[in-house]
Chain A
């Protein structure tokens, strides 16, 4: 869905660049030439300017990718090949629920590509999961692979499995990625057409975005990455592997010793090795696999910590390689690798940008380093044009402002995770991210959100203090900083929006009390947290006299009249934890209802 960039937009881009240049010049000029700051003030000033420069450089990188993405990549057409090359499909898993794996393997088994073998790399140590994996493998005809000694997590088990394979191509999927039937038929001809191509990466696409705020935010962050950024990288052999929905040439992977096991982002580190060995890569911008995003802040933070920690670990190698072997990559590749591997310093940049108004309002440490009028007049065109460019471009691809904002807000809320991930990576510290043991779709305890909540509290105090100061001092700079504090307060407050139970049952109406309702809870439970509303034909709420587990199957009987019951099956999609007057409020999703009764049931439940 590539859209042509119109001339009018190009002129906005040029104005955007000019506005950014003017803004940064004004900042730097005032900072170094026209102020008389003491060393402490100067230190904060430099940190703030660095944070702004960091954001600006990544913004420029984004714009460059937009231009690069205009270069049309010719892909080999997905024709039926005479002799299909052998493909090994690897899915690594450790303690994944059966229903997730079942969905993945049933999709993989249905790939319209005959010459494939599906390997289930089960790294579980728990006997129950092992038994489940064995059962699934025998039911679906999968080749199960296990190892005695765990090493190198996902990369380790893939490498161990790779030793026994002689396939030409290796497709890798995460345990929750469901490919469409034509995936291999489209990707393999591309690899066949260019023997120096090490891998073809396709996008990740979350589909549990409709009923989960965190998944939605994460989904839109992914969308921003996979649209112009990856398209741009893909045109200059700078696309790195994202770990799933990817097909490797086995020869290329073997030539660099398999996946890199020394970082938690083995995909990114392996891509660097491949590119510096002269292999090429490609981004195929067609969604061929659907998956699920993190459903709560705990899961999201864990994912972001891993990415931040892994990519910044690779940054150290990128810099070392740049110094020792500057010719191993092209200028364009170095630029992209430095941008991608340094991106997660954004946490530190966010922090400085957010902390400066507090410093000014509470401790009088200046934060804008110019007179307020010059600041406002140079900043406003810069921010309006840069935001305008971003939203217009993604808007041209049908992304809505509020959805993109959702992704951005979630990213800002993750700033402590990015900081921790980058600091641990910089100093080579080993760490597993702390928030664990939460069930899917559940809020995290506020204690885990102390950095965000502390800043929120400081904003409230500093805004109030700032108002007092303004009344007495009449200094416009106080107002500018108070506005910034208010802005950051609103942005960070979105943590409360994201840290909520899945809002699945909000649209379900309570069953009217005059309708007779009987139910029987069956001993059949599935995971329902990630299912979309479309999984259910209807939904409603009712009162149960007992507590019932989410995902339970319930046979229901609703009486249209005394002699006319409607019998149907439903799943519990949510249940209150505490009884009110001996009753538990339960949200039910109707899964099976006779066609002849469907309209009656709709009427009864007051739904169209």
Chain B
């Protein structure tokens, strides 16, 4: 069980993390591949996967925002 205020604050943190942390780490790790010694073509493939992860992350953000709206609009205080 979790109180509404705490849930909303945790959702806010999650949204921030999804919005910022995933693309940020994706960017850093993609650049770090440069030093990996992995073949350039393979690197490109890995980077494409990372990019796909960023796209999935935008869907996560949308889903989390919807949940946040539901909780904000809901009448219950305990979830």
Binding site for B on A (CB under 8 A): 102-103, 106-107, 109-110, 139-140, 178, 180, 205, 207-210, 223, 287, 290, 397-399, 531-532, 534-535, 537, 592, 595
Q: What 14 new A-B contacts, CB under 8 Å, besides A207-B27, A537-B51?
A: A102-B20, A107-B21, A107-B24, A110-B17, A140-B16, A205-B32, A207-B28, A209-B31, A209-B34, A210-B34, A223-B35, A290-B28, A398-B35, A534-B27
Checking B21, B32, B35 against A110 with a beta-carbon cut-off of 8 angstroms, the contacting residue is B21
With an 8 A cutoff between CB atoms, is B63 at the interface? no
Give the residues in chain A near B20, CB-CB below 8 Å. Answer: 102-103, 106
Q: Per DSSP, are chain B's interface residues mostly helix, strand or loop, or mixed?
A: helix
- Sample 14 A-B pairs with CB under 8 A, ordered by A number: A102-B20, A110-B17, A139-B16, A140-B16, A178-B28, A180-B25, A209-B31, A209-B34, A210-B34, A290-B31, A398-B37, A535-B23, A535-B27, A592-B58
Contact B31 A207 (CB under 8 A): yes
**Bound Cα distance from A532 to B28, whole angstroms:** 9
Q: Which of A102, A290, A397 contacts B32 (CB 8 A)?
A: A290
Closest-by-CB residue of A relative to B9 is A141
By size class, the interface of chain B is 20 to 34
With contacts A207-B32, A209-B34, A398-B35 taken as known, whether A106 is within 8 angstroms of B27 at the C-beta atoms is no
* Bound Cα distance A268, B1 (Å): 51
List chain B positions with a Cβ less than 8 A from chain A.
Answer: 13, 16-17, 20-21, 23-28, 30-32, 34-37, 47, 50-51, 55, 58
- Knowing A110-B17, A210-B31, say if A103 contacts B24 (CB, 8 Å): yes
Task: Select from chain B the residue with minimum beta-carbon distance to A289.
Answer: B28
Given contacts A398-B36, A592-B58, contact A106 B21 (CB under 8 A): yes
Which residues of chain B come closer than 8 Å to A205, judged between CB atoms?
32
Query: In the bound complex, do residue A399 and residue B35 qualify as a contact, i.e. CB atoms below 8 Å apart?
Result: yes
Tell whether, in the assembled complex, residue A208 and residue B31 are in contact, meaning their CB atoms are under 8 Å apart.
yes
Distance in angstroms from A410 CB to nearest chain B CB is 17
* Nearest 7 CB-CB pairings of A with B: A398-B37, A207-B31, A290-B28, A207-B28, A106-B20, A534-B30, A532-B27
- Inside 8 A of A592's CB, which chain B residues have their CB? 58
Closest residue on chain A to residue B31 by CB atoms = A207
User: What is the CA–CA distance of A178 and B13 in the complex, to the nearest angstrom?
Assistant: 17
- Closest chain B residue to A223 by CB distance? B35
Q: Kindly provide the distance from the CB of A93 to the nearest chain B CB, expressed in whole angstroms.
A: 18
What residues of B have a CB within 8 angstroms of the CB of A140 in the complex?
Answer: 16
In Å, the complex CA distance between A107 and B24 comes to: 9
Contact B24 A534 (CB under 8 A): no
The chain A residue sitting closest to B24, CB to CB, is A103
Q: Which chain A positions have C-beta within 8 A of B37?
A: 397-398
Nearest neighbor of A216 in chain B, beta-carbon distance: B34
